[in-house]
A and B are shown apart, each in its own frame.
Chain A
Amino acid sequence: MKSLTINGVAHDVDAPDEMPLLWVIRDMVGLTGTKFGCGVRQCGACTVHLDGEAVRSCTTSVAQAAGKKVTTIEGLAGDGNHPVQRAWIEQAVPQCGYCQSGQIMSAAALLSKTPKPGDPEIDAAMSGNICRCGCYVRIKSAIKRAAELA
């Protein structure tokens, strides 16, 4: 049994050490906002926070996460109204929406360290997150808006 703290709630999961956090979160804990996209840290759809840092949960083992605070899209803000989420809604960022949990988690981590990011900081922080719908114009714009709302 591993003890995990996800969104402030303790979970005991029967998972082998090397099992990726992604699949523990999705298939064992049942939080499906965190998405599977590539499995090899290429697309960012599975991004969660580990003690506040953005990590790719597809290549983070459950052993690495044990004892740390895991935050998923569901726990980013209790009411779902984190400034990044408010900006996303205001600017109608999502199209298919599948990558957006990961985009939002990456953006929130960026803003927690760089409250007023410019284009180079945004490009650097967000280029690990692929959006096949091509919402990049709005993602960038919404991050700047979220910086104002924060």
Chain B
Amino acid sequence: MRRDAFLTVTGSFGAGLALAVAGCAPRRTATVPDYQPSPEPSVTFAPNAWVHLRTDGTALVMLNKSEMGQGVYTGLPMLVAEELDLPWERIRVEMAPAEERYADPVFKDMTTGGSTSLAVMYPLLRGAGAAARAMLVAAAAKRWGVPAAECTTKDGAVHHAASNRTLSYGDLAVEAGTMPVPKQVALKEPGRFFLIGTSPKRLDVEAKSRGTAQYGIDVSVPGMVFANVLKAPTFGGTVASVDDGAARQVAGVLDVVKISSGVAVVASNTWAAMQGRDKLGVTWHDGPNAHINTPQLFADAEKAARTSGVVAGKHGDVDRAAGRTLEAVYKGPFLAHAAMEPMNATADVRADACEVWAPTQVQTRSKTAAMKITGLPAEKVNVHTTFMGGGFGRRLDEDYVVDAVEISKAVKKPVKVTWRREDDIKNDFYRPMSVNVVRAKLAGNKITAWEHRVASPSIVKRWLPPMFKNGVDFAAVDQVTPEAYAFANARTTYADFDPGVPVGFMRAPGANWNTFVTESFVDELAHAAGQDPLAFRLALLSPKATRERAALEQVAKAANWGHPRTPGAAHGIALTNWGGSIAALVAEVSVKGKDIVVHRATVAADCGVVVHPDIVVAQLQGAIMYGIAMAMTAKITLTNGRIDQSNFYDYTVLRMANAPAVDVHVIKSTEKPTGVGELGTPPIAPAIANAVFKLTGKRVRQLPFSDGLA
């Protein structure tokens, strides 16, 4: 067997599948030795961009989604292995280069976000695996002179039962490459799955337990120098003057360069760069945003919510509905993502090419930014995706890539730029603040009208302008009027309140705040109606909301609703829909003075077909913890346009001692798979607030709880 055989197969298929697979020849990008070990170079045939079969019987899956902990590095290759009937141990993975053929069919570029990876790639990668399998079968059938229909596949081999013959994929790989790429492939019936629905070993678990996983911050390129950037203290601030004399005296400092985001100090190691940065004398033009103060923002936003805003959705007539009116105002702060790996990127800008290594959720945007800065065409700019030390939406922006490319261009060397934690907290694209005025009319036990008026800065207007339509940010109003509830009359308004603070997507954007408001206010209405909050919700559900009903019923049973295990504790409940997945959550909570103790979170989740059950459990566990961190003490505030918080001592997040137990119940479903990476975040804060109300009679309408319960 020729191990160096390399046969190019082109073609495409798609009929019978929702999505076509681009069938281009594999073009392996060079990897830097220290960055990521390249798999064995024995690629033998590649029926499409996604899967390469090798003569050693392994398959390399090209991954177009970034791994930030959510499990795509395992879950997506499982789809290929399933249709290929290949044992899990023979799957290898490599991050795909930022090229058009790896574009997400919905986003139309390489982007990882919105809990969409598995849902979108499910048919596509299964089809890719099935196409490879069909070509292997065709090769075996040809060699044996038997009809392909008589051949079966199992454990990485083709069998012919009638003649009791078997050929391994490795033995067939070269011939398979000469077979026509099928125009159509049949996917397995779910009853025949051997891998989907099981929890094979995560492909990144060993490297991540041994310190060998390569994150962006670990990238090492020959001749590389290290940089740190002093950024403007205000948003939109610019450099007025630079005195870099003292900085240049610091041992190890090599250069000081002005870039668009501030002043970069380049040195022979990261620490020297940081020391140099501290010695910079920079004066700033503050720009237009130097007078932002958080208390004023909340006052202005409430006014905007009450008096302005466009109608984002309505049915019926809330004004004419009968019943007594209840109103509440909810206020949520800006939040920072605070991913564990500080923002960083490495770039090597040369006259004729540019290489970028980045822990990024947006390869295409990163590449476009590098092309713009360098003036190089697409084929001369390569973006290499590393593991990410957390994303949570922060890395949907590419500002740290811009830093690296600009600095490398200026100093003409490969540069790794690493932000300090303080830079990360003070230069985020923040979860938007929001003021929500909610009103409902209650007639007996029935909600006859629901009005939700939102004022918050728009992410979509900046990040995806074509989707900012008629003055409405669809993310900002997500879940403000939950479809699961049968409100006879409802109206949602949105006021684009833009104080000049950069905002971005954060785990379950929109819903991570709006679900707090809606599920708290529904609870207020339940108590106003004298109803049990669970029974009230079940009665309120629309007849179509069968999955929500099942989730509520299952979580109530699992948590033994109304009967907390801990003496003196109370239960609170909340329901959410995120990206088509559903979660109902019961929190078991105690209040001691002003301290809230969350003992346990019980969640019932429906995310359609479950590919890797243990990853689903892990994502729900983690997303709930993230939601607790967002709600308990975290807030970003501004004084005179400057972010008040700096690091984990004043932007406090969840630690182990305050982490609750989590019981996850995944509902069996044959619905198409939907996202699970963000699903657990929205329902935890309202569930806690609802338990706090039961315990204290105090309704928390402002987060974090450390402020709202004060």
A residues sitting closer than 8 Å to B (CB atoms) are: 16, 19-20, 23, 26-28, 30-40, 42-43, 45, 72-74, 80, 85, 88-89, 92-101, 104, 122-124, 126-140
Q: Is B662 interfacial (CB 8 A cutoff)?
A: yes
- Within 8 Å of chain A (Cβ to Cβ): is B212? yes
Contact A93 B656 (CB under 8 A): no
Confirm or deny: B127 has a beta carbon within 8 angstroms of a beta carbon on chain A.
no
The answer to the question of B217 belonging to the interface, with a C-beta cut-off of 8 Å to chain A, is: yes
The answer to whether A136 touches B625, judged by C-beta atoms less than 8 angstroms apart, is yes
Q: Are B656 and A122 in contact (CB under 8 A)?
A: yes
Is B258 an interface residue, CB under 8 A from the partner? no
Is the pair A43, B390 in contact by a Cβ cutoff of 8 Å?
Answer: no
Residues from chain A with a CB closer than 8 A to the CB of B705 are none
Closest A residue to B68 using CB positions:
A96
In Å, the complex CA distance between A132 and B206 comes to 20
Cβ contact of B662, chosen from A74, A94, A137, A139, cutoff 8 A: A137
The answer to whether residues A97 and B210 also contact, given A37-B342, A89-B205, A132-B626 and a CB cut-off of 8 A, is no
**CA A127 – CA B652 in complex, angstroms?**
12
- How many angstroms between the C-alpha atoms of A135 and B617 in the bound complex? 11
Give me 18 A-to-B residue pairs in the complex whose CB atoms sit less than 8 angstroms apart, sorted by A's number.
Answer: A20-B271, A27-B270, A35-B341, A36-B418, A43-B340, A80-B212, A92-B199, A92-B614, A94-B202, A95-B618, A96-B69, A97-B208, A123-B656, A127-B655, A131-B625, A132-B338, A135-B622, A137-B659
The CA of A85 and the CA of B625, in the complex, are separated in Å by: 23
Q: Supply 4 further A-B pairs (C-beta < 8 A) apart from A96-B390, A136-B654.
A: A32-B217, A73-B211, A99-B389, A129-B655
Which one, B209, B614, B659, contacts A94 given CB within 8 A? B209
Known: A34-B211, A35-B340, A39-B421. A137 touches B390 (CB 8 A): no
Q: In the complex, which residues of chain A have a beta carbon less than 8 angstroms from the beta carbon of B226?
A: 27
Which chain B residues lie closer than 8 Å to A31 at the CB level? 211
Give the chain B neighbours of A95 by CB distance below 8 A.
Answer: 69-71, 618-619, 622
Q: Digit string of B650-665 for contact with A (CB within 8 Å is 1, else 0)? A: 0001111101011000
Across the interface, do A93 and B209 meet the contact criterion of CB distance under 8 Å?
yes
- Taken together as a complex, chains A and B put the C-alpha atoms of A30 and B220 apart, in Å, by 9
Most A CB within 10 A of own CB, among B70, B208, B209: B209
Q: Are B387 and A96 in contact (CB under 8 A)?
A: yes
User: How many chain B residues have a CB neighbour from A under 8 Å?
Assistant: 64
Task: Say whether A98 contacts B657, CB under 8 Å.
Answer: no
CB distance A132 to B629 under 8 Å? yes
Q: Label chain A's interface by main secondary structure.
A: loop
* CA gap between A132 and B392 in the complex, in Å: 9
| Set of chain A residues within 8 Å of B68, measured between Cβ atoms | 96
- Complex CA–CA separation, A13 to B213 (angstroms): 25
- A43 contacts B270, C-beta separation under 8 Å: no
Q: Is the CB of A43 within 8 A of B69?
A: no
Known A-B contacts A99-B340, A130-B655, A134-B659; the reply to A32 vs B209 at CB < 8 A is no
Q: Confirm or deny: B388 has a beta carbon within 8 angstroms of a beta carbon on chain A.
A: yes
Q: Which of B338, B421, B619 has the most CB of A within 10 A?
A: B421
- Which residues in B have their C-beta under 8 angstroms from that of A23? 269-271
Residues from chain B with Cβ under 8 Å of A33 in the complex: 210-212
Question: A37 and B340: CB pair below 8 A?
Answer: yes
Residue of A nearest to B224 (CB): A27
| CB-CB under 8 A for A97 and B618, given A38-B647, A129-B656 | no
Contact of B390 among A42, A88, A98, A129 (CB under 8 A): A98
The smallest beta-carbon distance between A22 and chain B, in angstroms, is 8
Q: When the two chains form their complex, are residues A133 and B220 in contact, meaning their CB atoms are under 8 A apart?
A: no
Other-chain contact of B217, A35, A104, A133, A138 (Cβ < 8 Å)? A35
Taking CB as reference atom, which chain B residue is nearest A140?
A: B656
B520 contacts A by Cβ under 8 Å: no
B648 close to A (CB within 8 Å): yes
Q: CB of B624 within 8 A of chain A?
A: yes
Least Cβ–Cβ distance between A25 and chain B, in angstroms: 11
Residues of chain B within 8 A (CB-CB) of A72 are 211
Say yes or no: is B571 at the interface (Cβ < 8 Å to chain A). Answer: no
A16 close to B626 (CB less than 8 A): no
How near does chain B come to A88, taking the closest CB pair, in angstroms?
Answer: 4
Whole-angstrom distance between the alpha carbons of A88 and B201 in the complex? 12
Structural contact, A134 and B70, CB atoms closer than 8 A? no
* Of the residues B208, B418, B420, B621, contact of A138 by C-beta under 8 Å: B621
Shortest Cβ distance from A27 into B: residue: B269
Q: Which residue of chain B lies nearest to A79 when distances are taken between CB atoms in the complex?
A: B210
Nearest neighbor of A43 in chain B, beta-carbon distance: B648
CA distance A127 to B653 in the complex (A): 11
Residues on A with beta carbons closer than 8 Å to the beta carbon of B661: 137
A55 to B206, CA, bound (A): 24
